[in-house]
Structure 1
Amino acid sequence: MDSACNDLFKDDYIFRMTDDTGMFQHSKYALPDPNHGYTTDDNARALIMALMLYERYGKEKYLDLVYRYATFLLSAQTRNGKFRNFMRYDRNWLEKEGSEDCFGRCLWALGFALSHPCTPKGVKESLSYIMQKAMPHVSALHFLRSKAYSILGLASLESDDAKRIVSETAESLCSQYDGCKDGEWKWFEDTVTYCNHVLPWSLIEAYKVTGKDKFLQTAEESLDFLSKVTFREGYFKPVGCNGWFVKGKTPAEFDEQPVEACEGVFTYLATYEATGSRSYLQKAKQCYEWYRGFNSKKTSLIDSESGGCYDGLKENGLNRNIGAESLVSYVMAFLKISSIAGEETN
C-alpha cells in the first residue's frame, strides 16, 4: 500500500470525545463541548468505527466502546421503533423523534454490527431487537439519504424480509433518479448537497444483494457524474456546504466536509469490488488523501497532537474545531483504506 497505510494512528481523541454516555457531538477546538450534548447520528457511526477498530487491533478498550455506543442506540429508540437524535449533556432528550436521516444511519450501524464477526453475541441479540422494531418504518421513508442508509444496513442481513425491503427501496431511488436525470445531469435531485456518495453506494449494495443490473447501472452512471463534479482539479474536492451545487449553476467551493471524503472512500471501494475497475480504486485512495493534504488548500486536516480531524476546509483555511462527525469519518476512512493494503498501488 502507499503512504496512506503508513499513518501512525492515534486514538487519544476518540476517548477524549467519549464519556460514559456516548460520544459528544461538538468541540471547541480540541476540547469536547458538553454544551452541545450528543447525537444518535454520531453514536451510530461511532459504533461502526469501534467495531472496525476492534477487528483491526483486537484491544478490549475498543470493545468497551462498542458496548457504549450500542447502548446509546438502545436508549435512543422510541417505543414505536424510530429514533430520537439530540440529547443534552444531562441525558435528557430534546425531541420526541429524530430525522429520517438519523433513522437511516441507525439502520446502517445496526446492520453493520449485526453482520460483523466481532460483535459479541449478547450485543447482537440486543441490536436485533432494535432492528426488528425499526424495520417496518423503512417503507414509509420519504428522503433519499434516509432510504440509502437504510439499504446499507439491511443489505448486510440474510433475511428474506431484509432483501425484499432492500430491493423495493432501491427501486424507489432509481425511480427518483430517472425522473431527475436530464442530458448531462445524472443525479437523483436538482441539487447536489450533502452525503452524496451514499446514494450510488446504496445501489451498489442493493445490486450485490439482488443481482439487478439496473441498480449497478444507475449507481455507476450517477457516481461517474459525481466524480466529474468532485475531481475537477485532479484531486478530491467535495461540493461545499455553503451553497451546494444547484443544477445549471457552479458548485460551491467551500466549506468542504470530512464526511464526504469518508463516504467517498467506502463508495469507490464498493464499486471497485463490484466492477473490478481500477479507476474506482484510485479515486478511493484520492478521497482518503484529501485528509492528508491532497486537497484544494494543500493542508492536512489531521491534528498530529491528538489524532483528531478538523471539521473542514473553509475559504480561509481550516475549521479548527474537531467534532464527532469529522473524527469518526476520518478514522473509518483510515481503517477502510488500510484494509486494502494488499492491493496494487497507483
Structure 2
Amino acid sequence: MRSHLQTAVPFPETVNMPPETALPPFHPEHLLNMTDTTGIIQHALRITPNRKEGYCTDDNSRALLLTAMAWQHGRYPEALKLMSVYLSFIHYMQMDDGYFHNFMRYDKQIIFDGSSEDAYGRTMMALGYLVEHGPSPQLIRTAEDIFLKAAPHLDGLISLRGIANSLIGVCSFARSHASGTQLINSIVHMADKLVHEYNRYTDDSWCWFEEVLTYDNAIIPLALLHAFEITRQDAYLHIAEEAISFLESKVFHDDILYPVGNNGWCSKGGTTALFDQQPLDAMAMVLFYQQALHVTDDQQYLYKMKQSWQWFMGANALGLPLYDEQTGGCADGLQADRVNENQGAESTLSFWISYFAVAKYYTDK
C-alpha cells in the first residue's frame, strides 16, 4: 500500500451501521413526467421538463440501465414500458459506423457535435447490462445487435470514463456469453489502459488515474473490479482497492460522504472543493461498493455502500435530503447553502440506479 493510505479514514473494526432512512417504495412518477414517446428529456425547471434542452444519449442510456435494474428487482410494469422507449432512442442515435450521437433537440433534430466518449461508454454499459439481465429474448437480441455494431470503437477510446463505462458493459456482455478470446482481449486491453494511467500519476501522496479528481470518480476503479471478476487478475483488484481508499480520504469526513465539488474539483497538491456536490458521484460510490462486496464478500463495503446511499436521503454536508418523496425526483445537486431545486434526468436517474443497487441489502435484512 502507498504510504498516504495509513492516514486515510479507516473502516471501523466493528461495522456499526449508521442510522438509516427507510428505503422508500419505487416511485417512478417523475421519470414518467420527464419521458415522452421519444426519450427522457435532459433537464427540468424544478419539476417541469425543460423541452428547450432536448434529449441526450447519456441520460437515455442511464435510463435504460435503470429500467433493466428495476425490472430485475421488482418486475415493475412501468420499467418494461419505458425500457422500449429508451432502447429505441439509443438505436436511433447510433450512426452507420456504430458510434452514437449524443444530443437531440426537442424537434428531433440531431446536433452534430462530434459526440462523446462518455456517452458512448455509458451506452455500452447500459446495453451490456440489458444483454445480461434483459426481460425478453427480443429485447436482449436488439441490445446485442446495437452493442456489437458499436464494439469496433472500444479499442480506440481515450477518455478514462469512456473506457471505464465501456469496460463495465463489456464485462456484463461477457458474463452472458461464452467468454471468447476477442471479448477477453478487449477487457484486458481496456483494463490495462486504466492501470497504465494509474501508474503514470500515482506516487506516495496521490493514488489516482489522473492529476485531478473531477466527476463520476468511482466509476474508474469500479471498472477494474468488473475486469477482476472476469479475468481474476489480482492487479486489477489491488489497484481498485488502493484507489478507492485514496478517494475515501478525500470524500469521507466523520462517516459522511462529501462528493468532490464541481466548483474547483480536487487537484494534485491542492484542496478539495466541497460544493456543488452531484448525485452522479454518490451513485458511482454506491455502485463501486456494491461490486466490491460482490467480488470480495467483505462486509465493510456494505457499510460504505449504505453511507453513500444515505447521502441522497440527508446524511450529507447540509443534513438535507435530495430525494423528493412527493415527486419521486432527485435534486440536481447540493450547493453550499441549499439543495438545487431542479430535478433533472441525470440526478433522478442517479438516485434510482443507486436505489436498486442497495435495495436487496435492505429487503434481505
- Give the SS at the match of 1:226: helix
CA contact (8 A) 1:5 1:338 kept: no
Partner Cα distance (1:285, 1:294) in 2: 10
One of 25, 28, 37 as aligned partner of 1:20: 37
Q: How does 1:194-209 map to 2 (within 5 A)?
A: 194-209=215-230
Partner Cα distance (1:138, 1:114) in 2: 17
Partner Cα distance (1:313, 1:182) in 2: 32
Q: How does 1:15-94 map to 2 (within 5 A)?
A: 15-94=32-111
Aligned to 1:122: 138
CA contact (8 A) 1:16 1:32 kept: yes
Cα distance, 1:57 vs structure 2:
2.7
Partner Cα distance (1:343, 1:210) in 2: 29
Cα distance, 1:54 vs structure 2:
1.9
1:257 corresponds to 2:273:
no
1:326 corresponds to 2:342:
no
Partner Cα distance (1:162, 1:325) in 2: 30
2:359 partner amino acid: S
Aligned to 1:141: 157
Aligned to 2:253: 232
One of 138, 141, 147 as aligned partner of 1:131: 147
2:256 partner amino acid: Y
1:308 corresponds to 2:329:
yes
Aligned to 1:108: 125
Normalising by structure 1, we get a TM-score of 0.96
Partner Cα distance (2:135, 2:250) in 1: 38
CA contact (8 A) 1:83 1:97 kept: no
CA contact (8 A) 2:202 2:209 kept: yes
Partner Cα distance (1:273, 1:167) in 2: 20
Partner Cα distance (1:143, 1:20) in 2: 31
- Give the SS at the match of 2:334: strand
Aligned to 2:27: 10
* RMSD across aligned positions (CA): 1.4
Cα distance, 1:96 vs structure 2:
5.4
Normalising by structure 2, we get a TM-score of 0.91
CA contact (8 A) 2:313 2:320 kept: yes
1:245 corresponds to 2:261:
no
Partner Cα distance (1:120, 1:41) in 2: 24
Partner Cα distance (1:170, 1:6) in 2: 34
Partner Cα distance (2:184, 2:30) in 1: 38
- Tell me the percent identity: 35
After superposing the two structures, state which structure 1 stretch, 48-57 or 264-273, moved more.
48-57
Unaligned runs of 5+ in 2: 1-16
Partner Cα distance (2:22, 2:184) in 1: 35
- Give the SS at the match of 2:327: coil
1:190 partner amino acid: E
Deviations 1:25-44 (A, max 9, x none): 00001100000000000000
Partner Cα distance (1:6, 1:171) in 2: 38
Unaligned runs of 5+ in 1: none
